[in-house]
Amino acid sequence: MPKYHKIDRAVKGMLCCPLCKSSMTAAEDQFACAACGTVFPKRKGVFDFRISHPEYCRPNGMAKWSQIQNEFEEGEKRKKRKRRKKILTFLDAIDSARKMYAEEFDIRGSVLDVGGFQGRSRGYFSSSDVPLYVSVDPFLESFEGIDSQPELLQAYPCLAQPCNFLACYAEALPFRSKTFDWVNMLSVHDHFCDPYQAMIEAYRVLKDNGHVLIGLAVTGGESNMEAGRKEQPVYVSPIVQKVLRLLKNLGMIKAAKYELKVYSAKPLDDGHMCRWQYEDLLDLCKRTNFAVTKEHWLKPPYGACVYIVGEKQPLDS
Ligand SMILES: C[S@@+](CC[C@H](N)C(=O)[O-])C[C@H]1O[C@@H](n2cnc3c(N)ncnc32)[C@H](O)[C@@H]1O
Ligand SMILES: [Zn+2]
């Protein structure tokens, strides 16, 4: 079976403890930090630098995060089984993303893709511009089942090459300070448990004057997404509505449940930790010492997505 992920020697040399940032000792199947006494084993063939709190002392917010992350991972596994061909309907979108990266952003050097999943973004860079690319994501099984999805490999040919990958949280990166030229954060701020901490970590691992590229669906700014918008309720004709009401009055539970679905719309932030406002994203960049040097809005139907480049600013001494 082809190998879809790896961890190069050069990447191993960049690692440090995700908790206390000390050097770790490496073995075939684990990394260990003597300074804080934490061990990070290999699980399912992937080095796992996630902080695994015992259930009874999980930080606040982690329970909601786990539930949403679990939904995301289960969704991806279902896609793998059921909706394989759907990916081919996105070929144009993938192509325009590639063009946008080439035309709008000058990404060169080493790239850390935080929440990078299978490292699909590496298809947007040439290996001469980006000689080192690492994807990190808490989804340990990101690469499982690629073999059974030829359509996915067709849409993202870069997946056929093994990707530098390890499991960790954006909020606790296992990389030494000032290591990367770019941090890529695509559709992840609405998934993070603590986006503020994640941006502080992005700042830390970037070299001086390094850059963060954020891509995110937001409200506000030039976005076409309304704040507080709900999902469309299911539309049914007035006659069907009448019949439903009649059946419900006759005590048919199934009809009552369907009627509930028709009239209740779920908030749009389902499956996300939160929805972001453009102004808050700018403020987050400023507070974490990034100067925004570029902003690019996508056209409809992706008109809610903004891309922001932030340059790491040194602290005034
Ligand atoms: C919508 S997907 C985006 C994946 C990829 N960046 C892309 O654009 O194709 C969100 C990703 O964020 C990851 N994620 C969720 N919480 C995270 C965290 N705390 N740290 C790092 N990644 C996280 C998920 O596992 C998932 O792969
Ligand atoms: Zn440590």
3-state DSSP: the chain helix, strand, coil percent, rounded to 5? 35, 25, 40
> For atom 5 of ligand 1, which residue has the closest CA?
116
Ligand 1 in contact with 119 (CB < 6 A)?
no
What does the domain layout of the chain look like in residue ranges?
56-224+274-312
| Dist CA 313 CA 190 (whole Å) | 24
Residue 250 vs residues 87, 254, 261: alpha-carbon distances, Å: 44, 11, 18
- Output the pLDDT for position 82: 64
> For atom 3 of ligand 1, which residue has the closest CA?
187
What pTM does this model have? 0.88
How many Cα atoms sit within 13 Å of 203 on the Cβ side?
A: 19
Fold of 56-224+274-312: Rossmann fold (3.40.50)
Give average pLDDT by consecutive 10-residue segment, the chain, 317 residues.
Answer: 89 98 96 98 97 92 93 86 72 91 96 98 94 98 92 93 98 98 98 97 97 97 80 64 82 71 57 93 98 96 95 88
Q: Are 219 and 209 in contact (CB under 8 A)?
A: no
Question: Could you give the dihedral angle defined by the CA atoms of residues 181, 184, 189 and 191, in that order, rounded to the nearest 10 degrees?
Answer: -120
> For atom 22 of ligand 1, which residue has the closest CA?
115
Q: Are 119 and 141 in contact (CB under 8 A)?
A: no
- Output the pLDDT for position 252: 80
CA 215 to ligand 1: nearest atom: 8
- Output the pLDDT for position 260: 64
Ligand with the closest atom to the CA of 25: 2
Ligand 1 in contact with 297 (CB < 6 A)?
no
* 150-156, long-range: CB < 8 A, 24+ apart: 151/84, 151/85, 151/87, 151/88, 152/84, 152/87, 154/88, 155/87, 155/88, 155/90, 155/91, 155/94, 156/94, 156/118, 156/120, 156/123
SS3 296: strand
DSSP letter at 231 equals: P
- Output the pLDDT for position 238: 75
Ligand 1 in contact with 115 (CB < 6 A)?
yes
Going from the Cα of 46 to the center of ligand 1, the distance in angstroms, rounded, reads: 16
- Output the pLDDT for position 299: 92
